[in-house]
Structure 1
């Protein structure tokens, strides 16, 4: 292996170490605890090393979000193969419940990630593609991507309102069933 190849590999490993450390810190202490100083201490590199990988916290959040979209796509793919929209909806909600800080990075915190266009990162397109695969067959004569955006919005709304304590917790399954039934009607 050449020196440039080794340096590139080490840089990629540092990049992943920063992303992993940020995610772990956010999941245990919240995104407020994720600072370049804390990350530098945690990964045992200086703050300038972090800044050689990321412009700042927003860029770190965006990198964590991209990882989250890849994981969400995989969870939706695994669920969708066997259980259609109902399985995908349950997988989406379970993913959000199991990864609250990651979900915040994906949907609530400021990032410059482009959504809904050809310049969106592959992981974002893959996650949307999985939702599209579950919802497009139900769109009827409506635009499948717009129908998917509406279904995604409804799922996100249920997740957000539930996490915020705004909905009755004992009716979560019933709400999800109603949503799936409504989306399934042509």
Structure 2
């Protein structure tokens, strides 16, 4: 994105962009701006994905870079509170995005939103698999050490013999001053 020859899109090929080479950092700023329409976003993503599908390499990395804020929010949401290794789930979020990059229908609206959901689904499946996996010995030792801090005790007795408590409850209910109207 920097240097004498940054990677650029041809703005003339994307409706809504200036008819000049547009560096990727400028394109990213345009795509997240409030005034950017969904049509412009979809046209830009269709352009980027078409280049990624045909040329691979640089354009695939460009797609990941421009989608990084979305991918990070998905990965963060999925692993919030997860105590295991988050890296595998984050990798699966990226894998889902990259797989769907080759399959997403470019003629339907909300291209990035559909890529986001593909990344989420893939990451979610990885999270479920991680949660369903058997615990490692180290994890079991940690859980055991944590639970040793809490001790169980028998329930506190509520004063008196159970029959005396029952008789007191019946007396309270059958008292004329306690009857419902």
TM range (shorter): 0.3 to 0.5
Rg comparison, structure with higher value: 2
Query: TM-score, normalised to structure 1's length?
Result: 0.34
TM-score (norm: length of structure 2) = 0.34
More helix by share: 1
Larger RCO: Structure 1 or Structure 2 (Cα < 8 Å, ≥ 6 residues apart)? 1
